[in-house]
Amino acid sequence: MDNPILAALVPVILLLAFGVVAVIASRAGRLSPIVGYLVLGLALRAAGASMVVNSSTIGLLAQLGVVFLLFDIGLHFSLTHVRRQARDIFGFGPVQILFGTVLLGILAFATGLAPLPALFLGAVLALSSTAVVAPLIAERHQQSCPVGLTATAILVFQDVAAIFLLIVAGALGGGSILPVAMFALVKAAAAFAVAVVLARLVVKPLFRLVAHTGQEEVFTAMALLVALAAAWATGQIGLSLTLGAFLGGMAVAETPYRAVIQSEIKPFRGLLLGFFFISVGLSLDVGPLLRLWPAVIGVSAALVAAKVLTNAAASLVFRWSVPGSLQLGFLLAQGSEFAFVVLSLPAVRALLGPVRVSIVVAAVALSLALTPNIAQIGRQVAGQLRRRKARINDPELELKELAAPVLIIGMGRIGRTLADGLKEFDIRYIAVERDQRRLSEAIADGYTAVFGDMADPRLWNSIASHGRKINAWTGVSHETAQEIIPFSRSLYPGLTRFAAVIGESEVERFDLLGVRAVVDRSFPPGLDFTAAILNALDVEGDAINNWMRHQQERALVGAARGSAAA
């Protein structure tokens, strides 16, 4: 093929086509798409598809997939999230990693590895899969249960620990590991400090400027720019691209634009990460795997058993019950997608040996494929143990609010009044505003608000609609509601929707869409709307009336002072 552009496109087109088939087949078999991608890579390697195996384009796309994965993880690592679950992140997480590293390191040492490589491999295998466990928790509606909350917190810490392992892995080829790794950690700490400063002085003002344009494609370009520029910057100082991507995500996480950036970056992350997992499958030597399949099954079984044991032991240290410890242990019993990232590095493959790496990667892939079944076993065992003990009011089964129960859409006068009412009764909320001026003013006045347009369905998942009770639309037209509400109801059937309207004629039209319309005639604006929502949240009627009266008195005094000054 004479045209180099056409030659580079052929393997990409082939992988996209085969990738779609792999995902459909994986879902049909109730497996993670990761497994489908790995099997596809193995199949292409076995078929001798040299056009794909030797493509530099695929290697570049695979690298970018890992970059965007770490950028997305950084977007979730805001200081607010860390403070809320600090005990689990910085207590439970390190203990779980320590227990897993020691036991898995001992098992690796027993297979003939030297002590340091064995501990390094143990640490890599102690990580669990965010990409597999997080969707499983959501699918089973465990986001607000202690098991789901603690598992998520542990995964957050593991994601950060994976960054450390990538730094150590990058230092393996530079002579003595300890001094090189320590120097890399010093540079990483400096990069973290720079990222915090840039987040405040550069990133936030830059996104504020972009928001004024009102152009969605500019946000997409900015998301790509921050992820790639941060990765390039850390690469320039001798650190991994993935560390820079993570720090870039952290910089954005501290701004009101996190949700919209997350929605913009998600398609790139998913697509490019698929190329990475395919490239992992392509890198495996099929011959030894076919000969050593008993070893793959044995390593996978040992991995799962060791992680169930160490995860449960860590849970017992933090005074979880035996049923809860076992359920959490089984849920996090798989290997991690980061194992593929670390074990694909040339220095790591040279340290551990290509055959051992192939066996471990295949074993991790098998553990990922079996995760839904393994987690279900843990759930059933925990249920049987709880029934035997007949525990009443078990704190490990109590639901906890993960997301603020009320989402306010629009921070005009009605939205601000609603926010004031919710704050008065200690009800958490978050507001979404698409107008940059109103957003800046609301944040400056102390309201909790982020940038975004809820008419865009891509934003719904990143704004955590699944964890909320009420969506309060303060200025939506019937035409817009007619376009988006039916789709929203199909995705989030348990969500109650309120809309502030200007006349009785609107009420019936919104009711047909399943939206509770409230005609707001109050002074100041928003009192009637707020009262309806507070009633739905079971706030006492007399307390609502007293608050409304107080708000009216304050507004009248303010109006009188304004007239006198004029």
pLDDT digits (tens, 9 = 90+) for 215-268: 667 777 888 888 888 888 887 877 777 778 888 888 888 788 888 888 888 777
Greatest mean pLDDT among 111-115, 168-172, 269-273, 288-292: 111-115
CA 190 to chain CA centroid, nearest Å: 25
Residue among 96, 127, 89 at smallest CA distance from 338: 127
Question: What mean pLDDT comes out for the span 396-409?
Answer: 70
Q: Cα dist. 327→263, 315, 367, 480 in Å? A: 32, 10, 16, 44
Phi then psi for residue 519, to 5 deg, are: -80, 115
Provide the pLDDT for residue 562.
Answer: 58
Greatest mean pLDDT among 171-175, 279-283, 389-393: 279-283
Global pTM value: 0.69
Lowest mean pLDDT among 163-172, 315-324, 514-523: 163-172
Higher confidence at residue 403 or residue 494?
A: 494
Greatest mean pLDDT among 31-45, 46-60, 494-508: 494-508
**b vs e for 126-137, b when ≥16 Cβ sit within 10 Å of the residue's Cβ?**
bbbbbbbbbebb
Greatest mean pLDDT among 43-52, 202-211, 546-555: 546-555
The answer to whether 326 touches 378, Cβ cutoff 8 Å, is yes
Give domain limits for the chain: 4-388, 406-565
The answer to whether 127 touches 339, Cβ cutoff 8 Å, is yes
pLDDT band for position 298 (cuts 50, 70, 90): very high
Q: Tell me the C-alpha distance between 19 and 24, whole Å.
A: 9
Q: Cα dist. 410→44, 337, 450, 526 in Å? A: 51, 39, 10, 12
Q: What pLDDT, in 10s, does the model give residues 163-204?
A: 778 777 766 655 556 676 677 667 777 777 777 777 777 887
Q: Taking 70 as the threshold, does the pLDDT of residue 96 lie above it? A: yes
Average pLDDT, the chain: 81
Task: Give 398's DSSP letter.
Answer: -
Partners of 39 in the β-ladder: none
Provide the pLDDT for residue 189.
Answer: 75
Task: Record the tokens describing residue 385, joined without a space.
Answer: 């143990």
Provide the pLDDT for residue 89.
Answer: 80
Provide the pLDDT for residue 8.
Answer: 67
The answer to whether 417 touches 396, Cβ cutoff 8 Å, is no
Question: What mean pLDDT comes out for the span 489-517?
Answer: 87
Lowest mean pLDDT among 48-57, 344-353, 409-418, 494-503: 48-57
Question: What mean pLDDT comes out for the span 111-134?
Answer: 88
CA 329 to chain CA centroid, nearest Å: 21
Provide the pLDDT for residue 2.
Answer: 58
Provide the pLDDT for residue 279.
Answer: 79
Q: Which CATH architecture has domain 4-388?
A: Up-down Bundle (1.20)
pLDDT band for position 555 (cuts 50, 70, 90): confident
Provide the pLDDT for residue 392.
Answer: 46
**b vs e for 437-450, b when ≥16 Cβ sit within 10 Å of the residue's Cβ?**
ebbbebbeeebbbb
Provide the pLDDT for residue 563.
Answer: 58
Q: Taking 60 as the threshold, does the pLDDT of residue 302 lie above it? A: yes
CATH number, domain 406-565, options 3.10.520.10, 3.40.50.720, 3.40.50.300, 3.10.129.10? 3.40.50.720
CA 393 to chain CA centroid, nearest Å: 30
pLDDT band for position 417 (cuts 50, 70, 90): very high
Provide the pLDDT for residue 92.
Answer: 86
Higher confidence at residue 74 or residue 441?
A: 441
pLDDT over 90 percentage in the chain: 20
How many CB atoms neighbour CB 379 within 10 A? 18
Provide the pLDDT for residue 312.
Answer: 92
Q: Maximum Cα–Cα distance for the chain, whole Å?
A: 91
Q: Tell me the C-alpha distance between 166 and 237, whole Å.
A: 15
